Amino acid sequence: MSSKFEYTRAIVCGIPSSLPAQAQRLEEPGEGVDLLKARKQHAEYVSTLKKLGLEVTEMTPDENCPDCVFVEDTAVCVDNSALIPILGHQSRRPEASRMKDTLEGLGFNVIEMQDPAILDGGDVLFTGREFFVGVSTRSNMEGVAELAKAFPEYPVNSIKVVEHLHLKSMMTMGGPDVIFVGASKVASDAWNELESKAKFKYQKLVLPEDHAANCLYLNGTLVHLAPHEIPESISVYRKLPGPKIELENSELHKVDGCLTCNSILLC
């Protein structure tokens, strides 16, 4: 993560064949994951990162880790420091050790989380000036405290997450000091808590669909979901100024994957 949302590198991981049958999810999707389509969408995602000027480290998928494509959960990186969490779902914890090795190989100062803390990176919203951390089924207050210890130069605030898997399932940064938020009651409640705890002021942009509020803002470009995946929200995006890129994520969305889940962005 960067305080200026300007990045030079990213880490991604390929999609294992074990994902459709074994990935952890909130509930069973109405339709199964099309693995070939998922890989095609992911390849376009990686290509987009490269087009935006990022040098991409591509980790080999691990068939023993069905969710390994969702690398965001496995580390919180700011500048040259990285916190390696204990992931909230026990089956995913081997993913963190793989990410630790990758980040050490890239020269990061790695800090490892301690029990009884648990944390998924998808619960961590960094505004460039402070952290908001979702307390969810995957992240606890001990995890919030460990993150605060790892990055003492930034304020850290906890936000209650209900119904959604992660905090960033319903809100992300859409620009400097701009937070995109879903329109549901649970997203609105989370925003109200965020606003009451924030040390700085942020502009709120509401998207009719919660999952539409998950986007990537990097190097001056807004990357968001394709129109057919956010039919109620696409008009909001199209009214925004500046360069934008539309990406499909329909297959990984079936296993609770959002756009931010698929990469770790690095300065």
Catalytic residues: 166, 261
8 Å CB contact between 190 and 160? yes
- If one counts every other C-beta atom within 10 angstroms of the C-beta of residue 200, the result is 10
- 144: nearest Cα among 167, 118, 170, 107: 118
**Angle ∠(66,75,254) on CA atoms, nearest 5:** 35
Q: Quick one: three-class SS letters along 28-44?
A: CCCCCCCHHHHHHHHHH
8 Å CB contact between 175 and 217? yes
8 Å CB contact between 19 and 110? no
Residue 168 tokens read as: 């960033």
Residue with tokens 């609770």: 256
Q: What are phi and psi of 58, to 5 degrees?
A: -105, 110
Produce one character per residue of 12-44: b if its CB has 16 or more CB atoms within 10 Å, e if not.
Answer: bbebbebbbebbbeeeeeeeebebeebbebbee
Residue 116 tokens read as: 């009884």
8 Å CB contact between 57 and 11? yes
